[in-house]
Amino acid sequence: MKMGKFGFRIGNDFERPNTEIFDKLKSFGTPPISDGLNKFNTLDSQIKPVAPGIRIAGPALTVKLRPADNLMLHKAIDLAKEGDIIIVDTGGTTNYSILGDLMSSAAFKKKVGGIVIDGAIRDIDELIENNYPVFAKAITPAVGDKEGPGEINYPISCGGVVVMPGDYIVGDANGVVVIPPEQVDEIIAGTEKKLAYEEKRKVDIENGIITKPDIDEKLRSLGVVE
């Protein structure tokens, strides 16, 4: 459906996989997924959920806004499908909010899976009361414009990570990670390996093995311990 011109356009829709993959990713949590990603593709640590206990996983509907303008975010909510994660590049602007209670209510009425914003929001009390799955960098009462330009379903940079339309977004209290779909099997394998290691370490700790053997091995190689 490509429409518009560079900087003010809407790209083609993307293919959405079966929801089972997102249920699996959500159950992992972001820390082991980050390990499975070899520490890459984690958004800026300031981007966190507005309410406790929130977990999201779904395909990325990408939005690029002019700083302090949310015109194309309104249209993205209109275009979003159930389960989509609307992920927004504001150019890092935190002095003006681009989302509040009414826009959030509209998005979640459509059963959007979550909203991730590298920028600011407002109406925080209402968002928390409704337990809306919104992630953001900052909170401010000031609001911006609805003039554009902006882009939907084109590559963006969110929280220091390149995000493509259809990428898999996973978020929880620890933060947000981005998984390229073509790498998901490899990432899941790395995540499961990390989880298996953590379970083994829990057993070791319970059995009194407090310090991992490789810690002393490392220190010994550095001449710190004998």
Q: List Cβ neighbours of 5 (8 Å cut-off, separation of 6 or more).
A: none
**Architecture of domain 3-181 in this structure:** 3-Layer(bba) Sandwich (3.50)
Kindly write down the DSSP assignment for every residue of 59-95, as one continuous string: EEEEEEE-TTB-HHHHHHHHH--TT-EEEEE-TT--S
Give the model's pLDDT for residue 1: 61
Cβ-based neighbour number of residue 32 at 10 Å: 18
Average pLDDT, the chain: 94
Beta bridge partners of 198: none
pLDDT higher than 90, residue 200 = no
> What does the pLDDT average to over 88-106?
96
Higher pLDDT, 148 or 206: 148
Q: Lowest-pLDDT range, 82-86, 122-126, 202-206?
A: 202-206
pLDDT number for residue 30: 96
The pLDDT tens digits for 185-196 are: 999 998 888 888
- 199 has a pLDDT exceeding 70: yes
Q: Are 191 and 185 in contact (CB under 8 A)?
A: no
pLDDT greater at residue 104 or residue 216 = 104
Task: List the one residue out of 171, 173, 184, 165 whose CA is nearest residue 59.
Answer: 165
The model's pTM is: 0.91
E strands in the chain: 3-5, 8-10, 48-49, 56-65, 85-89, 114-121, 134-139, 150-152, 156-158, 161-163, 168-172, 175-179
Q: Where in the chain is the domain with CATH 3.50.30.40?
A: 3-181
- Tens-place pLDDT, residues 13-54: 999 998 999 999 999 999 999 999 998 999 999 999 999 999
50: which 2 tokens?
């507005």
Residue 3 has pLDDT above 80, yes or no: no
What is the rounded CA–CA span in Å between residue 141 and residue 131? 19
The single-letter code of the amino acid at 52 is: P
Q: How many CA atoms lie within 13 A of 68 on its CB side?
A: 8
In this prediction, residues 69-91 reach a mean pLDDT of: 97
Flag whether pLDDT at 216 surpasses 90: no
Q: Tell me the two tokens of residue 8.
A: 């003010």
Whether the pLDDT of residue 59 is over 90: the answer is yes
Nearest to 170 by CA among 9, 71, 41: 41
pLDDT at position 4, please?
82
